[in-house]
Amino acid sequence: MIKWKASPGWRRESILDVYNLALGIFLFASPWVLTISHGAMADDAWISGFIVVLVATGALVAFAEWQEWITLALGIWILVSPWVLGFQHTSAMKANIAVGALVTYLAAMELWLIHYTHAKGDTHKGVAS
């Protein structure tokens, strides 16, 4: 059973979701910013960016740990998608690698903070169990 925990206040890890939200917005806008508005590169940026924005917004509104696992998997996808979809050696590749690495790092950091700081007796409110 999935447990949802409405966040009545600000969790200290929420800032990481705000960063992911900003990265998702950048990735979604990157086809226009980097002038790559066609093909698999643009489609991947729009879809992946939109999903990052949705999951980050969901984590800010009602946190659930599974959202961070989805964000971690999505960050890995964004990181490897230039090779899988075949758009190496482009500005889109550089953007995907940067955003993918950051999204992956932030999701892993949030999962680490949730599991290891709370396991050591930290009684911080707002974390789903």
The CA angle 96-115-14, to the nearest 5 degrees, is 55
User: What is the residue range of 82's domain?
Assistant: 13-119
- Spatial contact of 53 and 21, defined as CB atoms under 8 Å apart: yes
Let me know if residue 42 belongs to a domain: yes
Instruction: Kindly tell me if the per-residue pLDDT of 7 is higher than 50.
Output: no
Let me know if residue 1 belongs to a domain: no
Let me know if residue 57 belongs to a domain: yes
Distance CA 112, CA 29 (A): 29
Question: Between these two residues, 76 and 33, which has the higher pLDDT value?
Answer: 76
Q: Which of 18-22, 33-37, 49-53, 111-115 has the lowest mean pLDDT?
A: 33-37
Per-residue pLDDT, averaged over 58-71, amounts to 86
Number of domains in the chain: 1
pTM here? 0.77
* pLDDT for residue 115: 82
Let me know if residue 46 belongs to a domain: yes
Let me know if residue 71 belongs to a domain: yes
* pLDDT for residue 121: 53
